[in-house]
């Protein structure tokens, strides 16, 4: 479920006097969550969120270097931001994330208008760096640390908006020790480090107490959680499956997701958990990268294609309806037409509901960057298109098979298509669009509000999403809240209806 996003995250709050910040985020969910952590730290330090870069006194860019394109985007952004900085005296520009971790001081030397750079282990320093920049100091702080302190962050500030009221990211581990030959992450995120289970549970309990229903557990190899520490006898971690069970027992948590797992760390207990823990969503993101054993070996992935087929079977035995998605790289050095055909075969055999596919991008300092037999760019592009055409077919077929079934959608907000629909995710992590009832995009009268979990019928399938119809009449379902929250008599599904609900829960 790697939503490789280009997000302009907005952390907005009233309060004119305080200086304002804006965070622009590139990359994966870990980066999105790091931006949330930095925003929360700044709010605690007295800063306030701005709606966009124009309104900001402090602009932070959280960068990604997973592929060359992402890194280049930073450089063109930074060039363009000279004008932003010059527009108003006192404006501050900071860069964080994977590029900052790698380039540090070099960025400051190359871009005279950049005030500071902060590495992936130094989020806690951002308020101090911003303060120092106000006093005219420039600095790069990219030290790596093994300290567990990095997990000790303040609880959500009242002004924190982040992912939303009902769904939250929770970090369980960081870093990676696997050094897949194509991947920059171990170089930018450092060594694997697991957060004590107690801290994770406390955070989940606090989030649940504040109304969060869905937690998405994050880690570069999230299911490797605790593996080194358990071996060394560290008492503050537990096996990943047990961590899931403990989180599932937290009152109020209705959905648990985790990303990104590595196929090598699915033990029996984790596979079984998918059949045993009701809140654990029936979706697993299983990054395959390739279906060719020769390519997988050169990628240093530590599994063969048949291991993935067997793992998919085991997950389906534990939970028949589990939806599987994946990441794939095409055009890895030496990938032959037969290797690529093996990837197509794997995708078909496993029946991935969706995949994120990328052309291989050599990253300086990684082992694969030195490999011979580069695949010509036109050939890689053509393979990417063939792979994506197959995936579109599989996705559409999987979506069509869902038409006529029921599910529940956690409403995220207005549809990104801008067609005045709402959108949310079902437990299988599929995007579902719902009709919105009125003018106001945030809480359309006659439609469910962002953060509600609503039961729906799936009425239509497209290659990218599903269209849902709320199971209850529009006139009656809109003020619904789950009974747990409402404390009201409910129907069998746990939902309160109609007039009862109307009076008790006026729409915002």
Among 25, 35, 361, 465, binds ligand SAM (CB under 6 A): 361
Residue 179 within binding range of ligand SF4, rule CB under 6 A? yes
User: Interface with ligand SF4 includes 93 (CB under 6 A)?
Assistant: no
Taking contact as CB under 6 A, which single stretch among the options 90-98, 101-109, 353-361, 466-474 is the one that binds ligand SAM?
A: 353-361
Residue 247-286 contact track with ligand SAM, rule CB under 6 A, x = bound: -------------x-x------------------------
Q: Which is nearer to ligand SF4, 20 or 262 (CB)?
A: 262
- Site residues for ligand SAM, window 61-100 (CB under 6 A)? 66-67
Distance of closest approach, residue 15 Cβ to ligand SF4, in angstroms: 39
Q: Is the peptide bond before 260 cis (omega within 30 degrees of 0)?
A: yes
**Pairwise CA distance, residues 38 & 23, whole Å:** 9
C-alpha Rg value of the chain to the nearest Å: 23
Q: CA-CA distance, 156 to 160, in Å (whole number)?
A: 6
191 Cβ partners below 8 Å, 6+ apart? 146, 175, 176, 177
DSSP 123: G
Among 29, 65, 289, 423, binds ligand SAM (CB under 6 A): 289
Contact 455, 411 (CB under 8 A): no
119 binds ligand SF4 (CB under 6 A): no
First to last CA, the chain: 32
Count of CB atoms situated within 10 Å of the CB of 368: 20
Told to check if 296 binds ligand SAM by CB under 6 A, we report no
Minimum distance of ligand SF4 from residue 415's CB (angstroms) = 31
- Asked if 411 is part of the footprint of ligand SAM (rule: CB under 6 A), the reply reads no
Q: Which does 28 bind (CB under 5 to 8 A by kind): ligand SF4, ligand SAM, none?
A: ligand SAM
Task: Enter the tokens of residue 308.
Answer: 């993935």
The pairing of beta strand 58-63 with beta strand 48-49: unpaired
Provide the sign of the torsion angle of the four alpha carbons 38, 42, 44, 45, taken in this order.
positive
Q: Please answer whether residues 78 and 63 qualify as being in contact, where contact means their C-beta atoms are separated by less than 8 angstroms.
A: no
Q: Which residues ranging from 180 to 199 are in contact with ligand SF4 (CB under 6 A)?
A: 180, 183, 185-186
SS3 199: helix
What residues line the site for ligand SF4 (CB under 6 A)? 176, 178-180, 183, 185-186, 220-221, 262
What residues line the site for ligand SAM (CB under 6 A)? 2, 28, 66-67, 182-183, 185, 220-221, 260, 262, 287, 289, 327, 329, 358, 360-361, 363
């Amino acid at each position: 479920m790697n939503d490789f996003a280009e997000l302009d995250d907005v952390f907005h709050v009233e309060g004119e006097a305080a200086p304002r910040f804006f965070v622009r985020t590139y990359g994966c969910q870990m980066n999105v969550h790091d931006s949330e952590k930095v925003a929360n730290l700044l709010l605690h330090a007295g800063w306030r969120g701005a709606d966009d870069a124009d309104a900001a006194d402090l602009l932070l860019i959280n960068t990604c270097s997973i592929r060359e394109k992402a890194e280049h985007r930073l450089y063109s952004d930074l060039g363009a931001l000279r004008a932003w900085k010059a527009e108003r005296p006192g404006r501050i520009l900071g860069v964080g994330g994977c590029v900052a971790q790698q380039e540090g001081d070099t960025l400051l030397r190359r871009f005279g208008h950049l005030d500071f750079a902060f590495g992936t282990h130094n989020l806690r320093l951002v308020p101090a760096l911003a303060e120092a920049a106000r006093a005219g100091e420039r600095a790069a702080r990219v030290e790596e640390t093994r300290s567990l302190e990095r997990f000790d962050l303040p609880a959500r500030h009242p002004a924190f908006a982040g992912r939303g009221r009902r769904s939250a990211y929770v970090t369980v581990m960081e870093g990676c020790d696997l050094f897949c030959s194509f991947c920059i992450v171990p170089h930018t995120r450092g060594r694997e480090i697991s957060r004590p289970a107690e801290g994770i549970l406390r955070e989940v309990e606090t989030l649940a107490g504040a109304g969060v229903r869905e937690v998405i557990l994050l880690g570069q190899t999230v299911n490797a959680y605790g593996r080194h520490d358990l071996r060394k006898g560290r008492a503050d971690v537990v096996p990943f499956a047990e961590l899931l069970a403990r989180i599932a027992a937290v009152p109020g948590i209705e959905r648990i997701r985790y990303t990104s797992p590595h196929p090598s760390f699915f033990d029996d207990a984790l596979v079984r958990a998918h059949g045993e823990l009701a809140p654990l969503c029936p979706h697993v993101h299983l990054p395959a990268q390739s279906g060719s054993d020769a390519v997988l070996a050169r990628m240093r992935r530590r599994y063969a294609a048949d291991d993935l087929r067997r793992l998919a079977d085991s997950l389906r035995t534990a939970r028949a309806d589990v939806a599987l998605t994946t990441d794939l790289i095409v055009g890895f050095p030496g990938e032959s037409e037969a290797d690529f055909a093996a990837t197509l075969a794997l995708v078909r055999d496993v029946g991935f509901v969706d995949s994120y596919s990328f052309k291989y991008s050599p990253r300086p300092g990684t082992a694969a960057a030195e490999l011979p037999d580069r695949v010509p760019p036109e050939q890689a592009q053509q393979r990417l298109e063939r792979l994506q055409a197959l995936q579109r077919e599989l996705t559409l077929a999987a979506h069509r098979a869902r038409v006529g079934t029921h599910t529940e959608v956690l409403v995220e907000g207005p549809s990104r298509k801008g067609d005045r629909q709402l959108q949310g995710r079902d437990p299988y992590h599929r995007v579902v669009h719902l009709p919105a009832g009125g003018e106001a995009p945030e809480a359309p009268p006659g439609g469910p509000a962002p953060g509600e979990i609503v039961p729906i019928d799936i009425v239509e399938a497209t290659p990218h999403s599903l269209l849902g119809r709320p199971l209850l009449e529009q006139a009656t379902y809109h003020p619904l809240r789950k009974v747990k929250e409402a404390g009201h008599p409910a129907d069998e599904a746990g939902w309160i209806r109609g007039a009862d609900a109307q009076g008790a829960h006026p729409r915002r």
